[in-house]
Amino acid sequence: MIKITNLEKIYRTEEVETVALNKLSLEVKEGEFVAVMGPSGCGKSTLLNILGLLDDPDAGSFVFNGIEVAKFNERKRADLRKHNIGFVFQSFNLIDELTVFENVELPLIYTGVKSSDRKKRVEEVLDKVQIMHRRNHYPQQLSGGQQQRVAVARAVVNNPKLILADEPTGNLDSSNGNEVMQMLTDLNEQGTTIVMVTHSEHDSRYSHRIIRMLDGQTVLENIMV
């Protein structure tokens, strides 16, 4: 599903040049659950942003579902993203002015799903993450765990092929964290590919494969048995 080859990303300021990704190559197969680990500043998040088509690489190739996307413009990237990729963030990133229902509905609006279908699909997914009873609440009225469940619901409502999770349990206590990890595992079992950035060895054990990064390169791959 994902094949990146010699990917480079360099951040430049007036005085400093930081190499975030240094000729990185890796492959993720459809249905895989991959955890990316490494110390702060090793390029994990940069990698995730490029995989999520939020950022573009400076050099190298990125093939997504057989299509070279490294040189895609903003419109094409947005289009590919909204149909294929779901995101889960550490800080949930829900819109405060929208209710739980409306937050989950948003990706469907951007993909142009009809209003009646939207309602059905949002309700289904809210039911799945067991937050249906809070559908009319605003994010501030929910606990962290509940907010992250809403975020997961939002990530999956479009049935994406790929979910990118950036430290999804970083802001949660262990029980809520485990719940979220279980949800991701369930999704993976239903066929969704997952790439997760994490600092947590515990969380990484839910994955099939751990990629360890250092200074913008992969240094080790552990296959979980």
Partner 1 sequence: MIKNYFKVTFRNLWKKKTYSFLNIFGLAVGIACAALIFLWVENELNFNHYFSNRDNLYIVKDQQTYDGTTFTFDATPGPLAQGIKAEIPGIKNTARCTWGDQLLFSIGDKNIYDQGNYVDAPFLSMFQLQFIAGNASTAFGQLNSLVVNETMAKKFFGTTDVLGKTLKVNNRQDYIITGVIKDLPKNVSFRFSWLAPFKIYEENKAWLKEWGNNGIITYVETEPKANITAINKKLHGYIQTKSEEAIAKMSIYPMNRWRLWNNFDTNGNEKEGNLKHVNLFSLIAWIILIIACINFMNLATARSEQRAREVGVRKVLGAVKRKLIGQFIAEALFMSLLATLCALVIITLTLPAFNSLVEKQLSLNIFQPSHISALLIITILCGLIAGSYPAFYLSSFNPVWVLKGLKLKSGSAGVIRKGLVILQFSVSVILIISTIIIYRQIQHVKNRDLGYNKQGLIYTYLNGNMKNNFPVIKNDLIQTGIVQNACLSTNRVLELGSNTGDFQWEGKDPNKQVLITIVGVSPEYISTMGMQLVQGRDFNKDIKSDSNNIIINETLARMLGKSDVVGSLVTRNNGMEKYTIVGVIKNFIYNSMYSPAAPLIMYSDTSGANVLSVRFTQNADIKTALAKTESIIKKDNPGYPVEFSFVDAEFNQLFKTESLIGKLAGVFATLAIFISCLGLFGLSAYLAEKRTKEIGIRKVLGASASGLAGLLSKDFIRLVIISCVIAFPISWWIMHNWLQGFEYHIRISWWIFLMAGLMACVIALITVSFQAIKTAVVNPVESLRAE
Closest by alpha carbon to 91, among 13, 32, 147? Answer: 147
Q: Give me the least distance between CB of 38 and partner 1, in Å please.
A: 17
Cα dihedral sign for 196, 201, 206, 208? positive
- CB-facing half-sphere around the CA of 132: CA atoms within 13 A: 11
Cα dist from 143 to 44, 91, 136, whole Å: 27, 12, 15
- Residue nearer to partner 1 on the CB measure, 58 or 110: 110
- Do residues 150 and 131 touch, judged by C-beta distance below 8 A? yes
- What residue ranges bind partner 1 (CB under 8 A)? 45, 49, 52, 54-55, 74-75, 78-79, 81-83, 87, 89, 91, 93-98, 102, 105-107, 109-111, 154
Tell me how far, at minimum, the Cβ of 111 lies from partner 1, in Å: 7
Least Cβ distance, residue 93 to partner 1 (angstroms): 5
Of the pair 8, 55, the CB lying nearest partner 1 is at 55
Closer CB to partner 1, residue 1 or residue 106? 106
> Residue 65 or 174: which CB sits closer to partner 1?
65
Token digits for 122?
Answer: 């949002």
Shortest spacing between CB 12 and partner 1, in angstroms: 14
> Between residues 81 and 212, which has the closer beta carbon with respect to partner 1?
81
Q: State in angstroms the smallest separation of the CB of 50 from partner 1.
A: 10
Residue whose CB is less far from partner 1, 171 or 178: 171
Taking the complex as a whole, the smallest distance from the CB of residue 205 to partner 1 amounts, in Å, to: 26
Nearer to partner 1, 17 or 74 (CB): 74
Burial class (CB in 10 A: 0-12, 13-18, 19+), 15: exposed
Q: What single-letter amino acid sits at 110?
A: Y
**Partners of residue 149 on adjacent β-strands:** none
Q: Whole-number minimum distance, CB 81 to partner 1, in Å?
A: 6
- 112: enclosing H helix or E strand: none
The 3-state secondary structure of 187-217, one letter per residue: HHHCCCEEEEECCCHHHHCCCCEEEEEECCE
**E-assigned strands of the chain?**
2-12, 17-28, 33-37, 59-64, 67-68, 85-88, 162-166, 193-197, 209-214, 217-223
